Chains A and B, each alone.
Chain A
Amino acid sequence: MNGKLLKISKNDQPDDHLSRQAFLREIMDEDATSLWQQAENQGETWALARRIRLQEQKQPASAQQKTKDVISDKVSGGFISRRQKLIDLKKAKKIHHYTALYIGNDPQTIEGLTSLLDDFECEHTGNPKQALEILSHKTFTSIIIEYDLPMANAIQFLNTFGTFCSLNEQIVAILVPKTVDPSNKKIAARLGVKLWLEKPFASHVLTSCIKRLVEKSHEP
């Protein structure tokens, strides 16, 4: 028997053997946390894919990418998660393919928008000037603006933006701290703002409001 045959002999550990054990333990209602951890440490594809899924539910995109890169090195053609695959398919089919621009610098909102709005291609900038530049050559389905921006507030920004172009069908949302005078809400509405959301709010509140507004705007 040559080396090649020995390598694939029946006694070899299968790929992902720790992950397999961990899963079987889970299915028997036993705790498998440490086995999953060991499997991740061994760089097992299955365990890392599971890690990505957990990260997709609650961790920053940067951490997800790191794990994806580790698996992609091992998988020919590159690893893709179930969630990412669906996003890609939707994009390819142009199903509910909406774009959003977030103007602001709140890390929680950025994370919430990138991880929860599957249907959205989201861009962000913290600089109102840069935002104007982006908006001058690209149309977004929705624009989400922090009330407090450097150099201007959201209403001032929208006033400036309005002198260049109209909001048309775009959904504009303003995220406001509690300290802002509620009378500004009327001014914002006149400027075409469809959502006035007071902070703090759970990340899914923003996304579900935006989705609802977008879907509503597409209804005949």
Chain B
Amino acid sequence: MSPENPSRVFNIVDRTATVLVIENNISLRSLYNNVLKSLGYTHIYTTNEISIALGVLESEVVDWVLCSPQTENKLNIYHLLNMCIKYDGLKETLITTTLSDSEKKHIPHITALGCFSWFLSKSTEDHIRSSLEEIIRRIKIYKCDPTLITLSFLEDFLRDSQKHSELINTYRNLMSLYPGNTALLLKMAESQLLAGKKKEGSLTLQQACTMNIAAKPEAQSIADKYLSGVLPSISSGSTDQNPFGLKECFICKIDDSSKEVIENLFTETFAPFKYFSSSENCLDDCEKTVGPDLLISGWWNDGLNTAAFLQRFRIMKPHSVIVIIAHKLDSAEIALLNEMNCAVVLKPPLLRDKFLETLVWLIQQDNRPLEKSFLIIKIRQSLESGKIDRAIKFKESLQSNPLASQGDILLSTSEILLKQGNYEASLAIAIDALKYGGDSVACLNTMGRSFLKLGKFDKAFQAFDQAQELSPLNVKRLCSMAEASFELGGDVSDLLIEASIIDENSRAVKSTEAKTKIASGNTNAGRNILAQLSSIKDIIAYLNNKAVTAALDRKYDEAVALYEQALESVPDLHAKYRTVVNYNLGILHLRMGQMDQAEKVLQRCVPKEDASISEKASQLLENIKQARAANKQLKMMEKEAPPPFQLNEEHLKKIKRGIRLAKVETIINKGERCLYHIFYSPEKLKIVLESLSYLPSFKVKESIELDNKKVFL
């Protein structure tokens, strides 16, 4: 069953669907209307063209649209399909295209754009009836899963047109959505054999039998048909396709018995994997490659321990699924795994069948999250990679999850607001999330981060410190605590030592050490640390923000000193940042009305270090020159410091009243709209490209019921 709201497909089966027919031909249109009525549908709208149909779509919730391609009109089927992808109000509406024989060429293109189904339109009642009944029959066969229903129509079309390769690619793309699905594997095997790819076909048959022994009779019958009855043995051959849709799996330091189970399974199913007996080597590989999409790791405390390893891994690979294999974990380790978005902890010894079941479930949840914990993970992962709209979409799914508590939903909202830079709102909601049972460590962390951004360093420290008590292995949080402590004039060394005990060579620790050393004027020590880091962007940004804050508070000398300390600390290895700092210092002098100093500093900006900043600096130097020629003083506007944040119930209430989570675009993931993002049309028709370049406007009309009548607002 589709994880996305399947009610539209249900509505078609139980005849409660609202149907919209868009057909130029008036007699055909009335024929559709009559047949639909005779099939039991009562909510039917008919219209001759898409531009008029938009009015209906804006004012009614339409489940199913039957539409001819209308390629001769201003708006055609491609416009409609594109609108269903781009507008939230239409993303669940199913589109069936009615085609003439000559219009069959559109099938790959409409499928790639998320069309639900199609049939050949003939002007006979019987034909239309049987076509519609066929759609209903397939909905029942494929248990209301729109992706599989569309696939069944596409299979008919591609097989008839002998386009086996396109079908094989589609099956491959479906494997991560339906990991280990033997029916799909068998279909893929048959397509491969039909395409003359005997080796691949026979390996796929093997994979199907490995995944499920019950698939053997059907595999045998396919082998009888195409391979003279010979079903090859498990170990023969190699292929880049696997039944899980896995691109790469890393296995790091697990017990021998688990290692054997996993290696055997992956070898038999041709799932690509690499085993690492050293966590350092595993991280080195992560740096060099795109993968892995799955990490299976043991738990150890010596050397680069798992706590440090996982935190470094997560920075590099925020989206990989993490599986831990461990006998017993204490509260600190469990809390860290939760913070690192670990999907599952398995206890050795692993049983092959059980592990296979878990693996399939994990891949399913990673691709189409349904469970609360996976939705929460997906929200965090989306935020980590800056995809706020995606996070909002997952939060909407979390809201409709019956197991999600009010605390879970509030926490996710607060995390999104934090990423959007709305710190006051994020804090207010995080406080509510903590009150209503959101994960305590995550709530405290969000509160700490919001407080930090709002300049409430004492409160930030308090929240982080409490989170650290509950989850003591988080290095990044200890660094944030050190930064908060530094702002309060406190000692940072104890916190950094604590962080180093967890991860001796943590980049985050070095970065925090550098920030605090430079900001406190110890530029030599700062320079030494910066010379050890491959990137110092975050440190320069921190020092700049600190200088900007000082300038906003009219502490100009402090701000200038910070920039100068930053300049002194930048080692030759990172010379490009000198231009960035000089430019910012130049701007500060201009704000202070010190044109001569600004000129001197801006002249130090060189294209060799940063071309675009240097160009901006040249522009400013030109402005200074002109101002001087005109005997004027060039002065930049001073910025006003925002009013200090007030932490009290009344202010928090006021903030909460104005909170809106603004989403910029509609996001449709693989598997959420039929075969959109799964099937790709090999070539593009001119009409498709032209149509997709124009998106008609669309806005759902809000309405209210008044005296049993719908009144639009």
Is chain B found bound to chain A in the same assembly? yes
Q: Which residues of A come within 8 Å of B, CB atoms? A: 5, 8, 10, 12-17, 20-21, 23-24, 26-28, 46, 49-50, 53, 71, 75-82, 85-86, 88-90, 92-93, 95
Which residues of chain B in 319-361 are interfacial with respect to chain A, using CB atoms and an 8 Å cutoff?
Answer: 328-334
- Chain A proximity mask over B294-318: 1 for CB below 8 Å, otherwise 0: 0000000111010100000000000
Instruction: Report chain B residues within 8 Å CB of A77.
Output: 328-331, 333-334
Our pick among A8, A24, A50 for the contact of B403 (Cβ within 8 Å) is: A8
Interchain Cβ contacts under 8 Å between A and B, 22 examples = A12-B437, A13-B437, A15-B440, A20-B440, A21-B435, A24-B431, A24-B434, A27-B463, A75-B334, A77-B330, A77-B331, A77-B334, A78-B330, A80-B330, A80-B472, A81-B472, A82-B332, A85-B473, A86-B472, A89-B307, A89-B502, A93-B504
- Chain A proximity mask over B449-479: 1 for CB below 8 Å, otherwise 0: 0000000000100110010111011000000
Q: Is there contact, CB below 8 Å, between A46 and B470?
A: yes
Does residue B402 face the partner (Cβ distance < 8 Å to A)? Answer: yes
Q: Is there contact, CB below 8 Å, between B332 and A85?
A: yes
CA–CA, A26 and B459, complex, Å: 10
CA–CA, A45 and B406, complex, Å: 21
Instruction: Report chain B residues within 8 Å CB of A92.
Output: 301-302, 305
CA–CA, A24 and B333, complex, Å: 25
Given contacts A27-B459, A75-B334, A89-B307, 11 further A-B contacts (CB under 8 A): A5-B402, A10-B406, A23-B466, A28-B648, A46-B470, A53-B469, A71-B331, A77-B333, A78-B331, A82-B468, A92-B302
Does residue B498 face the partner (Cβ distance < 8 Å to A)? Answer: yes
Q: Is there contact, CB below 8 Å, between A50 and B405?
A: no
Instruction: Report chain A residues within 8 Å CB of B680.
Output: none
Our pick among B437, B469, B648 for the contact of A17 (Cβ within 8 Å) is: B437
- Interface of A: prevailing SS: helix
Does residue B636 face the partner (Cβ distance < 8 Å to A)? Answer: no
Does residue B179 face the partner (Cβ distance < 8 Å to A)? Answer: no
Closest chain B CB from A21 CB (angstroms): 7
CA–CA, A80 and B332, complex, Å: 6
Does residue B407 face the partner (Cβ distance < 8 Å to A)? Answer: yes
Our pick among A8, A26, A49 for the contact of B470 (Cβ within 8 Å) is: A49
Q: Is there contact, CB below 8 Å, between A14 and B436?
A: yes
Instruction: Report chain B residues within 8 Å CB of A81.
Output: 469, 472
Q: Is there contact, CB below 8 Å, between A23 and B305?
A: no
Q: Is there contact, CB below 8 Å, between A28 and B330?
A: no
Q: Is there contact, CB below 8 Å, between B305 and A89?
A: yes
Instruction: Report chain A residues within 8 Å CB of B468.
Output: 82
- Interface of B: prevailing SS: helix
Task: Identify the interface centre among A53, A78, A85: most chain B CB within 10 Å of its CB.
Answer: A85
Task: Identify the interface centre among A14, A21, A78: most chain B CB within 10 Å of its CB.
Answer: A14
Q: Is there contact, CB below 8 Å, between B434 and A20?
A: yes
Which residues of chain B in 644-661 are interfacial with respect to chain A, using CB atoms and an 8 Å cutoff?
Answer: 647-649
CA–CA, A74 and B402, complex, Å: 26
- Chain A proximity mask over B636-678: 1 for CB below 8 Å, otherwise 0: 0000000000011100000000000000000000000000000
Closest chain A CB from B278 CB (angstroms): 16
CA–CA, A80 and B333, complex, Å: 9
Q: Is there contact, CB below 8 Å, between B405 and A10?
A: yes
Our pick among A24, A50, A76, A95 for the contact of B435 (Cβ within 8 Å) is: A24
Q: Is there contact, CB below 8 Å, between B301 and A89?
A: yes
CA–CA, A78 and B405, complex, Å: 26
Q: Is there contact, CB below 8 Å, between A82 and B462?
A: no
Q: Given A23-B434, A75-B331, does the pair A14, B305 have CB atoms closer than 8 Å?
A: no
Does residue B501 face the partner (Cβ distance < 8 Å to A)? Answer: yes
Closest chain A CB from B205 CB (angstroms): 42
Instruction: Report chain A residues within 8 Å CB of B330.
Output: 77-80, 85
Closest chain B CB from A123 CB (angstroms): 23
Q: Is there contact, CB below 8 Å, between B305 and A20?
A: no
Q: Is there contact, CB below 8 Å, between B647 and A28?
A: yes
Chain B, Cβ-Cβ closest to A94 = B302
Q: Given A46-B440, A77-B330, does the pair A26, B462 have CB atoms closer than 8 Å?
A: yes
Give the 5 A-B CB pairs with smallest separation, nearest first: A14-B437, A82-B472, A92-B301, A80-B330, A85-B332
Instruction: Report chain B residues within 8 Å CB of A71.
Output: 331
Instruction: Report chain A residues within 8 Å CB of B307.
Output: 89
Our pick among A13, A15, A16, A79 for the contact of B331 (Cβ within 8 Å) is: A79
Task: Identify the interface centre among A12, A20, A88: most chain B CB within 10 Å of its CB.
Answer: A20
Q: Is there contact, CB below 8 Å, between B463 and A82?
A: no
CA–CA, A136 and B429, complex, Å: 63
Q: Is there contact, CB below 8 Å, between A49 and B469?
A: yes
Closest chain B CB from A84 CB (angstroms): 9
Closest chain A CB from B399 CB (angstroms): 12
Our pick among A8, A27, A93 for the contact of B501 (Cβ within 8 Å) is: A93
CA–CA, A93 and B308, complex, Å: 12
Instruction: Report chain B residues within 8 Å CB of A14.
Output: 405, 407, 436-438
Chain A, Cβ-Cβ closest to B345 = A77
Which residues of chain B in 16-35 are interfacial with respect to chain A, using CB atoms and an 8 Å cutoff?
Answer: none
Instruction: Report chain A residues within 8 Å CB of B437.
Output: 12-15, 17, 20
Instruction: Report chain B residues within 8 Å CB of A15.
Output: 437, 440
Q: Is there contact, CB below 8 Å, between B501 and A86?
A: yes
Instruction: Report chain B residues within 8 Å CB of A24.
Output: 431, 434-435
CA–CA, A28 and B427, complex, Å: 13
- Chain A proximity mask over B394-435: 1 for CB below 8 Å, otherwise 0: 000000001101110000000000000000000000010011
Chain A, Cβ-Cβ closest to B443 = A20
Q: Is there contact, CB below 8 Å, between A50 and B469?
A: yes
Q: Given A49-B470, A77-B333, A86-B501, does the pair A27, B328 have CB atoms closer than 8 Å?
A: no
Q: Is there contact, CB below 8 Å, between B462 and A27?
A: yes
Instruction: Report chain B residues within 8 Å CB of A93.
Output: 301-303, 305, 501, 504
Closest chain B CB from A87 CB (angstroms): 9
Closest chain A CB from B334 CB (angstroms): 6
Chain B, Cβ-Cβ closest to A26 = B462
- Chain A proximity mask over B261-284: 1 for CB below 8 Å, otherwise 0: 000000000000000000000000
CA–CA, A134 and B508, complex, Å: 43
CA–CA, A17 and B433, complex, Å: 11
Chain B, Cβ-Cβ closest to A118 = B501
Chain A, Cβ-Cβ closest to B303 = A93
Closest chain A CB from B391 CB (angstroms): 22
CA–CA, A159 and B59, complex, Å: 100
CA–CA, A43 and B272, complex, Å: 48
Instruction: Report chain B residues within 8 Å CB of A28.
Output: 647-649
Which residues of chain B in 359-388 are interfacial with respect to chain A, using CB atoms and an 8 Å cutoff?
Answer: none
Closest chain B CB from A115 CB (angstroms): 16
Instruction: Report chain B residues within 8 Å CB of A95.
Output: 501
CA–CA, A16 and B305, complex, Å: 30
Instruction: Report chain A residues within 8 Å CB of B303.
Output: 93
Chain A, Cβ-Cβ closest to B334 = A77
Q: Given A90-B501, A93-B302, does the pair A76, B403 have CB atoms closer than 8 Å?
A: no
Instruction: Report chain A residues within 8 Å CB of B334.
Output: 75-77
Instruction: Report chain B residues within 8 Å CB of A78.
Output: 328, 330-331
Instruction: Report chain B residues within 8 Å CB of A21.
Output: 435
Closest chain A CB from B339 CB (angstroms): 14
Instruction: Report chain A residues within 8 Å CB of B469.
Output: 49-50, 53, 81-82
Instruction: Report chain A residues within 8 Å CB of B407.
Output: 14
CA–CA, A137 and B302, complex, Å: 27
CA–CA, A210 and B498, complex, Å: 20
CA–CA, A71 and B334, complex, Å: 15
Chain B, Cβ-Cβ closest to A76 = B334
CA–CA, A85 and B336, complex, Å: 12
Q: Given A8-B403, A46-B470, A77-B331, does the pair A89, B501 have CB atoms closer than 8 Å?
A: yes
Closest chain A CB from B347 CB (angstroms): 11
Instruction: Report chain A residues within 8 Å CB of B447.
Output: 27
CA–CA, A77 and B347, complex, Å: 12
Instruction: Report chain A residues within 8 Å CB of B333.
Output: 77
Closest chain A CB from B468 CB (angstroms): 6
CA–CA, A94 and B323, complex, Å: 28
Instruction: Report chain A residues within 8 Å CB of B403.
Output: 8
Task: Identify the interface centre among B301, B332, B403, B406: most chain A CB within 10 Å of its CB.
Answer: B332
CA–CA, A21 and B437, complex, Å: 11
